[in-house]
Amino acid sequence: MTLANLLSAEQIVPEMKAKGRWEAIAELVDRLVIAGRIRADDREHVLESIKQREQTMSTGIGFGIAIPHASSEKVGEVVASFGRSTTGIEFESLDGQPVFFVVLFVVPRDQFQTHLRTLAAIAKFLNDKAVRDELGKAKDAQQILQVFENRSPRG
């Protein structure tokens, strides 16, 4: 599984409206509902799972990156959405800096190894400055998706 396999253009927000952490998380969960990856009836449950995880420690990991995530019995497979903010989102990041790239994902409950592998893959992918530069320059959701497709490690 590559990161590109988790995303479609419909799951990408090229310019997020959110200015704060909680708004950003809600915006990306809503994107998963719109894309049909989470049922509308399950929105609040999934959102609450992510908020609970986020309250233990911010997933703003530095370098303008945040990776809010959780496990939930409301999903049958890993689901993800990606958002970009050119102005930056206040995310209470570990480095105190605003976030420009947010990857939100939800893993089925009891898939701990999948959860760790997904988190590690996203962090490693976005740790590459060249990837972040390309994501920043992409003009729309389709170009952002192409960066994920072209730059994601295979295998």
Cα Rg of the chain, angstroms: 14
Half-sphere exposure (Cβ direction) of 10: Cα atoms closer than 13 Å: 9
List 21, 69, 84, 132, catalytic entry:
69
Cβ-Cβ contacts under 8 Å for 109 (sequence gap 6 or more): 71, 72, 73
Active site residue 115: no
Relative to beta strand 79-89, strand 60-62 is unpaired
Place of tokens 């994902």: 105
In sequence order, the 6+-apart residues with CB closer than 8 A to the CB of 121 are 3, 153
Phi, psi of 91 (to 5 degrees): -125, 10
Catalytic residues: 69
